[in-house]
Copies of this chain bind each other. A is one copy, B any other.
């Protein structure tokens, strides 16, 4: 019996609040599902920590969500997916879905010319998780990665390329600078993977800038949407008449409700601080 009605909830885990874009995508695709979210905000970012430490933190977070009786665990954190997914899959009694493989799979299916771009944090790019995942699916696809360290803080400030003119200008110049570098290194790319859970909020800006830079169409693959689609495939019994309740837990409260509401696209109501 779940904390929210008769069907067990889906668990979503992230090092911070970016994973709320996955919650939002799940809500659009599976509106009846109840979701329990855990953001390990006291220990964010994972990207600067060793693989062992990330695995240990991820197992603690997964343990918390299992005690909430989740029937599926989504690891929305790219670093945790890259460092700890095999171990989580081995040690947990429920199916586990990582952040990298669903987007990689959509990218391989979507490319026509065989060149794919991946943008993400420094840690994600360094992990080469997308390189490996795409190579495992189709060794002929050429993958060009680029780290875009300013995108996460831009999203957390809410500077998304529209609205207040100076905020829009800063966001636009930043996107143009990063994607311009990608254009020089990957002129043929026709798919761009948003390999970070923060990036869906920049989708319309990135789409506009990509349209300016490449003369052919560039399809954006949103890893949060890809995870939600994969989750829907894994859950043929998904609730369509449930309450769709969302419970959020964080290990540190600073700014979570304020910024999190922007990620989620609606107000965060149930947010509780927990010690793991």
Contact = CB atoms under 8 A, between A and B. Distances in A.
B164 A153 contact: no
Given A41-B48, A49-B42, A122-B255, A170 B166 contact: no
A106 interface: no
A111 interface: no
A252 interface: yes
Copies in the complex: 2
A156 interface: yes
A1 interface: no
Given A42-B50, A44-B48, A254-B48, A177 B164 contact: yes
Contacts of A255: 122
Nearest to A148: B157
A107 interface: no
> Which residue, A44, A50, A177, has most C-beta atoms of chain B within 10 A?
A177
Interface string A141-184: 00000000110111011010000101101100110110010000
B153 A180 contact: no
Contact of A48 (B50, B156, B252): B252
Contacts of A157: 149-150
B150 A170 contact: yes
A150 B154 CA distance: 7
A187 to B, nearest CB: 18
A149 B170 CA distance: 13
A176 B150 CA distance: 17
Contact of A177 (B49, B126, B166): B166
Contact of A173 (B42, B44, B170): B170
Given A42-B50, A48-B42, A176 B180 contact: no
Contacts of A167: 173, 177
Contacts of A41: 48
Interface of A: 41-42, 44, 48-50, 122, 126, 149-150, 152-154, 156-157, 159, 164, 166-167, 169-170, 173-174, 176-177, 180, 252, 254-255
Nearest first, the 10 closest Cβ-Cβ pairs linking A and B are A166-B177, A170-B173, A169-B173, A170-B174, A166-B173, A153-B153, A150-B153, A170-B170, A166-B176, A149-B153
